[in-house]
Amino acid sequence: MEEKQTQPRRKIIHIDMDAFYASVEQRDNPELRGKALVVGGAPNGRGVVATASYEARKFGVRSAMSSKRAVQLCPHAIFVRPRFDAYKKASQHIREIFSRYTDLIEPLSLDEAYLDVTEDKLGIGSAIDIAKAIKQAIKDELDLTASAGVSVNKFIAKIASDMQKPDGLTFIGPSAIEAFVEKLAVEKFHGVGAVTAGKMKKLGLFTGGDLKKLSLEQITGHFGKAGAFYYNIVRGIDDRPVQPSRETKSVGAEDTFAYDLSTTEEMFAELDKIAKVVSERLLRHGLKGRTITLKIKFGDFRQITRSQSHTEYSDNFDAILDTAKALLLSAGIGDNNIRLLGITVSNFSSAEDNGPETHGQLKLF
């Protein structure tokens, strides 16, 4: 009788650099070490926080926050402009370290990536040992720290990498996954933002365990296609492969509002928030684009998009916001109320065009 062949259990590592841009700045300038440091736009303008050192994070400073708000939370913070040439150089070195162990590398941005080490190049066998070796190489060769999550799928590995930051390593094995996800707060699920989390809580869904009580029909009825993903993940199922050829085609953010917007002032205020997130994500990915697209969904669920392409590539917050506002005004919305706004940037330049001299660091909810 022929034996049934079974696929080997996957070994997935998620590596996430610790406060990457700020750590590079502190490494390269000893005077900044141990200080509350913010990498991003000037606090006296309309800048956005690209990232903050852990010393600044203690005061509540976070990525995508306005620089003005960061100053309010941490008045003694030191602000520096991003140096993307330095971050890209470090990121390339880190990618080279990854490639010593596997060719199955899916970068998410300059500072994080998934690795599939089910079959590693060096025959080490243990994903935990490989993660330790990668972390040590990054520390020895770049004087930077990284946190790692190790598990059998991407969802759990990503959550695990954030559990013991900075310089952490967390392993969540197959037998522990379901119990872990059942206890996980819904807002900790990757991709669940404030609005979705609020909707879940109104339905009495506070943890993965609560989600697990719903049938597939019930959960997709509430959350559409995403519901099917939630249904599987609370059971430890995530078959998404690590994709080495992953290429970012667009970067965007959108928000569905708690009530329909009826005035231009309200719409502009929301576009301001969304543009900050988009600018921060472009910076994190080291990308600039020429085409800005505005998505509008009306109160009656009709949906339109409007786009504008520029001659120069940009990741600049003001340029994104001003274009989005102009597109909104030109859309002729009249007396229609708006329930959703979104901004997307696409038509990216090549990596060589993304020089440091012209840089301005899913859905929003």
List active site positions: 112
User: Please, are residues 36 and 77 in contact by the beta-carbon 8 Å criterion?
Assistant: yes
Going across the sheet that includes 289-298, the strands are 250-261, 338-348, 289-298, 303-314
**In this structure, what token pair is assigned to residue 113?**
């990536």
- Which of these, 6, 5, 7, 37, lies nearest to 21 by C-alpha position? 37
Which residues are within 8 A (CB) of 117 and not within 5 positions of it... i.e. 6 or more apart? 11, 12, 13, 101, 102, 104, 124, 127, 130
User: Please, are residues 26 and 53 in contact by the beta-carbon 8 Å criterion?
Assistant: yes
> Measured between alpha carbons, how far is residue 45 from residues 39, 41, 83, 266, 359 in Å?
14, 7, 19, 21, 15
**In this structure, what token pair is assigned to residue 29?**
């300038």
Rounded to the nearest angstrom, the gap between the alpha carbon of residue 208 and the centroid of all alpha carbons in its chain is 21
- Which of these, 135, 116, 185, lies nearest to 17 by C-alpha position? 135
